[in-house]
Amino acid sequence: MADYSRIISKTLSPSQWTDVNESSILAPYTYLTSAPSKETLRHLANALNDWLRVESTQLELIIRMAQALQNDSLLFDDIEDGSELRRGQPVANTVYGVPQTVNAASYVVIKVYKDASELSGIMKDNASIKVSSTPEEIITEELLNAHRGQGMDILWRDQVTCPTEDEYIDMIKNKTASLFKILMRLMMACATERKNVYASHAVSDRHWTYFTDLGTHRNYIPLIELIGVMYQIRDDYSNLRDASYSDTKGFAEDLTEGKFSFPLVHAIRADESNTRLLDIIRQHPKSPELKREALLYMENESKSFDYTLAVLRALQIRIDEEMKALGGNPKLEKLLDKLRVK
């Protein structure tokens, strides 16, 4: 008679999880993060900390969570968008496959919530920190926003439905700005520098929702939303106009993806009787010649690139005004200057 005692014994004993196991299932994520990046969130956090004075251990934990969620979103984005390149190398899912990449990305989100629980414990030990939203609640709220934005972006692409500019701005406030707001709101929750709330925004119902998180802090949320929107529109512009961008993401990749980016939304809405761009987008063009035809139309006929630059300048002026009203921040000004489209 066969002896199954080893199987029974193994079933009843604690499972073994090794560092090798951990690194193996995280390989797609590690592959992505090993490529050079601009470390925008880290630089942003360090600049914002001139205002908020978050203790270094907590700040590092917050940066780690925010960066993990940002990188995680890129793994999902590349699958959902059918991208080929990310940071100058083949996307993770083409190297490791979609199933392993999805599992790694999902695993990272769970690890972020584990870090959020650790941050909650630190905050509970600090009697001076009194906020109504826990780190877990902040992350949940903003991830819901991020997925709402991403969902609309995908829906418009798959249905070849061009949004209005207002709809597009709402989408990127959810999709892109939410990742910036995770960083900002967690830092505000752990801040040691306490100032009066930035009252000039109190008339906006949208910003009242954040006041419970602020305690006696200024309201930095409008600034971070402006930065998030500016960052995405700048990215949209660079995807179609910046030659160096082609090296890391491919030539005018947004056109191949069929993505309704900000310049494209303007170009289509500028003359809705002309369906040329919609017809091109519907084909998800890979031909450089067809892409150049679309770009020339946007440059010479709809003037969409000029319009996008004007919008970016307007956003940058408003960001400068917000920073000044908040007391000024030379470090943040220097960081944002690098993001300006010259």
- 301: which residues sit within 8 A by CB, 6+ positions away? 271
Residue 89's SS3 state is strand
Q: Given this model, what pLDDT does residue 4 score? A: 87
∠ CA 301-176-208, nearest 5°, is 115
DSSP structural state of residue 87: T
* Residues 305 and 313: beta-carbon distance below 8 Å: no
Predicted TM-score of the model (pTM): 0.86
Q: How far apart are CA 179 and CA 73, in angstroms?
A: 9
**C-alpha dist (Å) from residue 323 to 51, 154, 183, 194, 253:** 11, 33, 17, 17, 33
| Residue found by looking up tokens 């949208």 in the block | 206
- Of the candidates 340, 339, 320, the one whose C-alpha atom is nearest the C-alpha of residue 330 is 320
Q: What is the pLDDT along the chain (342 residues), one digit of tens a residue?
A: 577 888 898 889 998 899 999 999 999 999 999 998 889 999 999 999 999 999 999 999 999 999 999 999 999 999 999 989 999 899 999 999 999 999 999 999 999 999 999 999 988 766 555 566 899 999 999 999 999 999 999 999 999 999 999 999 999 999 999 999 999 999 999 998 754 433 333 333 333 334 334 444 578 999 999 999 999 999 999 999 987 766 667 789 999 999 999 999 999 999 999 999 999 999 999 999 999 999 999 999 999 999 999 999 999 999 999 999 999 999 999 999 988 877
Element (H, E) at 86: strand 85-86
**CA dist 112 to 2, 103, 109, Å?**
45, 14, 5
Provide the H-helix boundaries in 258-303. 262-270, 276-282, 288-296
Looking at residue 216, what is its pLDDT? 47
The owner of tokens 């934005």 is: 149
